[in-house]
Each structure stands twice: as C-alpha cells, then as structure tokens.
Structure 1
Amino acid sequence: MFLKKVTLLRDKIADFNRFPFSIPAINQLNEILFTSQVTFFVGENGSGKSTLLEAIANKCEFNPAGGSRNNVYELQESDSHLGDYIRLSWLPKVTNGFFLRAESFYHLSLHLDEMELEAPQPYRSYGGRPLHKQSHGESFMSLFCHRFKEKAIYLLDEPEAALSPARQLAFLRVIHDLVKGGNVQMIIATHSPILLGYPNANILSFDGGRIHPTEYENTEHVQLTRYFLGQREKILAELFRD
C-alpha cells in the first residue's frame, strides 16, 4: 500500500453547514486509515463516497474529470472542493495511477483517443483499438487490462456502471492479478455486490451518517440483493400495489 491515511483538516473549515461538509459522513469525518491493498467505499446515493474519492484524486493531482496526471482536458468542474480540506499521508508517495469516473468516461475516452493518435503505436495502451470503437463495457475492460500497471494507485468511481455481471467477475480477476504483485493500491466506490465480494478487501460504509468499516454480509447492497432474489414475486407485488 502507498496511501496510509486521509485526514479531514477540520480547523480549516469555516462552515460545516455548507456542501460538501453538510454531508453527514463527511461532517463526522476525522481520518480514514487504509490497511488493505483494496478498499471499497459503499453507501447510498448522496452518502459522500464519490465526493471523498474525487477529493483524494484531486490531492493526487489526477484530473478530477478522470485520468492520470498526464491527462489534461477541460470538463465542468465539481463544486465540492473537498480536496482543499484533506491531507493524504503516504509511505511511500506514488505519482502514478488513474482516476476513473464512470459518469465522465465518455469525455475521457475522447481525450485518450486524441492522445493515442499522436503516439508511435496508437492504442497500444488500450488493446490496439480506439475506445470509441468498442462497447462501453469493452472500453472499460480495455482500460483495466492494458492501461493499469503495477506501482500505482487506482481510484475507481462505480466501475461496474458499464460492466455486465460476467464482466464484473472478469474485473475481479484483473484486480487480483494487479494486487498479487504487492505494488498496487485500489480504492473503489461501488454499489456492486459482486465487486464487494473481493477477498480480504476493506469495506468502508458511508451510511448511517459516518464512515465505518463493515463486513460484506452486512452491507445493504448484499442484503437487499439477496432478499430480492429470494423473494422477487413478493417484493414486486408490494412495490406495484395500488
């Protein structure tokens, strides 16, 4: 691991009632310790997991719209600015890595295609094909399989957004292959019960108004999915009852 701790600089915050400090989990944050090569942020929409992940990317000097330090392109800036109020503790510090935002991947892929056209061997870093000539899920997997290397930190915001269940399983193997060398750290915000099942990962829940460790079986995503699969007809009958 490289990133050991994230600390919220609470003494610099003038007003905890304004966004993003008004988000309950951020409001109560002091510090987060990272003790595993793979950490998942999990929680309901709006719970703050993507906001914090973007802030970490900002402090890593990755493009907040997605990419690495080398990807310079313009996109509407987030208004959270949480990165100005956190401190990252490294041992050792790494500058190599990548920030993936599923919601802005289209713009990132356009930028990557433009960069690859100027490379000696275009698209070698992405499987030999332009990302825009692949499906959404294929382009994600091309990025994971060909661009991601060792000795780096990878920040991924909802990577399952473009992946079928089968592709999510394939992505678990990609994570495993990267992690087993011991030189990769991954922090992943996700809603996927499949991805959350990665062994020996730390899961940090943003639900309940605070950031706290939880177990796979205790996440609402896993419990609700299991309940739906086991009680589908009952749940749908209740849901659609007039």
Structure 2
Amino acid sequence: MFLREVRIENKHLNTRQYPFSIPVIRNLESLTLNQPVTFFVGENGSGKSTLMEAIADKCGFNTAGGGRNNYYEIDAQTSALAHYVRLSWLPKVTNGFFLRAESFYHFASYLDTLDGGTGPYGGTSLHEQSHGEAFLSLFTNRFNKKAIYLLDEPEAALSPSRQFTLLRIIYDLTETGECQFIIATHSPILLGFPNATILSFDDEKIEEVRYEETDHYRLTKYFLNNRERFLEELFSDEE
C-alpha cells in the first residue's frame, strides 16, 4: 500500500460548474484506501474517470495515459479536479502508470516516435498487435514492482479469457506487497478479484459495497440464468 488517502479541499466554488457539478465529486471530502486493489464502479458519468484522472495528474502521470516520463500533447491536459485533490502517501512512490483505454491508441503512437520505444513492450510496435494483445503487452512488460497503477476500463480491449489473464497479472504483482492498483471498471470478471475494495459511485456518494451487491454481478447473473426471459422483457413493447 502506497496511496492511503485522497482528499478534496477548497470546495467553495460554484457547484454548477464541472467537476463539482458531479454529485459524487461535490459530496466527497476524503477517501481512504486500505487494500492493494481498489475498484471504482458506477454508471457512466458518475465521476469515476474524473476522480481517476485527478489522481493520475497528482501522481505526475500523463493524463492522456502513460507514466511520469511520457510526454505527448494529444488529449493531455491538467485535470479540472486535480487542483483541489490532496494525496496522502506511506511511502510515496513515483513509479507507475495511468492506463486510459479511450486514448491508448495515442500512447502507442507516441511510443513509435521514440528510439527503441517499443523495447520495453516486447520489441514490437503496439500498433502491430491486436488491441487486446497490446494491452496485455503493456501489462506484462511495463508493470513491475514498487509502483501504483491506475487503470480506467482496462477490459475495453480484453476478451473474457484475457480478463482472467489480467487478474493473474494483478495477483502476482500484489502478492509481492509492492504494487497498488486502482481500477475503474464495468467488468464483473475483474470485480471478482479476491479481497479487493469495491467503491460504488452511484447514489451521489461513494460507498463500499460487496461484490454480490454490484449491478455488474446481479445483472450478469440474472441474464445468464434467465436469458430468454431477460431478452423477452427487454424487447417487449410494453412500457
């Protein structure tokens, strides 16, 4: 464990203005992290990525995706929330990575501009690999000990079987006691990681929930167990 607490200070601004127009962000004062793996879950627009980006910014990571030493301009900007965020570390680490699935293409392009930039990623351009293979190449070649990793929807390019591969990578890294993960996800597979903290961003505040209490688990389980009924209800013309 490295990052222990996230605090938001000086929230005296107009609450109608982004990012404090987001209820979760407006209502958040502090967030304690007490497990090596923490998940952010919630509906689109609930504030997960906004908080994740602010944490990445305060860690010194490229907000378009990357680590502290990855400099490229595409989509990179200072987080609107980062100015109000304070991080508490024990101890502080500078090594790590911010994976932003939506801008991973730009990170891969940036690597191609560097002399030997693909070396740490298996020696092959990430653009020459499938999307899922490129993600796993990043995880297996770039992720190592004594670091914090912020992953925003890493399942976006991963098949179910590849998600299990990612779970094993996370397990192996956290077993060393020298890695911490914060992951925003919609994947019921990733959320099943043992002993992880799951923080729900729904209902206008952040609350810890059990795996079985997440919509991701409940809806997926209901669909798999009642597929025909579920689809019949979904496609029904009745209000």
Band the TM-score falls in, shorter-chain normalisation: over 0.9
- Please show how residues 125-204 of structure 1 align to structure 2 within 5 Å: 125-204=120-199
Q: Deviations over 1:158-213 (max 9, x none)?
A: 00000000000000000011111111011000000000000011111101110011
- Which residue of structure 1 lines up, in the alignment, with residue 8 of structure 2? 8
Residue 49 of structure 2 corresponds to residue 50 of structure 1: yes
Residue 233 of structure 2 corresponds to residue 233 of structure 1: no
- Which residue of structure 2 lines up, in the alignment, with residue 71 of structure 1? 70
What is the CA–CA distance in structure 1 between the aligned matches of 2:11 and 2:46, rounded to whole Å? 22
**Runs of 4+ in structure 1 displaced over 4 angstroms?**
77-80
Distance change (3 Å), C-alpha of 1:47 and 1:202: same
Instruction: Find the partner of 1:208 among 198, 203, 208.
Output: 203
Kindly provide the amino acid, as one letter, of the partner of residue 157 in structure 1: D
Q: Does the 8 A contact of 2:39 with 2:184 survive in 1?
A: yes
Kindly provide the amino acid, as one letter, of the partner of residue 92 in structure 1: P
Identity %: 61
Q: Does the 8 A contact of 2:11 with 2:26 survive in 1?
A: no
Kindly provide the amino acid, as one letter, of the partner of residue 192 in structure 1: S
Q: What SS class does the counterpart of residue 16 from structure 2 fall into?
A: coil
Kindly provide the amino acid, as one letter, of the partner of residue 178 in structure 2: N
The alignment covers a number of residue pairs equal to 237
Please list every run of 5 or more consecutive structure 1 residues that lacks an aligned counterpart in the other structure. Answer: none
TM-score, normalisation: structure 2: 0.96
Residue 94 of structure 2 corresponds to residue 95 of structure 1: yes
Indicate the larger mover: 97-106 or 15-24: 15-24
- Which residue of structure 1 lines up, in the alignment, with residue 108 of structure 2? 109
What is the CA–CA distance in structure 2 between the aligned matches of 1:79 and 1:142, rounded to whole Å? 28
Please list every run of 5 or more consecutive structure 2 residues that lacks an aligned counterpart in the other structure. Answer: none
What is the CA–CA distance in structure 1 between the aligned matches of 2:200 and 2:77, rounded to whole Å? 23
What is the CA–CA distance in structure 1 between the aligned matches of 2:179 and 2:63, rounded to whole Å? 20
Kindly provide the amino acid, as one letter, of the partner of residue 31 in structure 1: S
- C-alpha deviation, 1:230, in angstroms: 1.1
Q: Does the 8 A contact of 1:205 with 1:213 survive in 2?
A: yes
What is the CA–CA distance in structure 1 between the aligned matches of 2:123 and 2:73, rounded to whole Å? 25
What is the CA–CA distance in structure 1 between the aligned matches of 2:171 and 2:78, rounded to whole Å? 34
Q: What SS class does the counterpart of residue 93 from structure 2 fall into?
A: coil
- Give the root-mean-square deviation of aligned CA atoms: 1.2
Kindly provide the amino acid, as one letter, of the partner of residue 38 in structure 1: V
What is the CA–CA distance in structure 1 between the aligned matches of 2:213 and 2:186, rounded to whole Å? 14
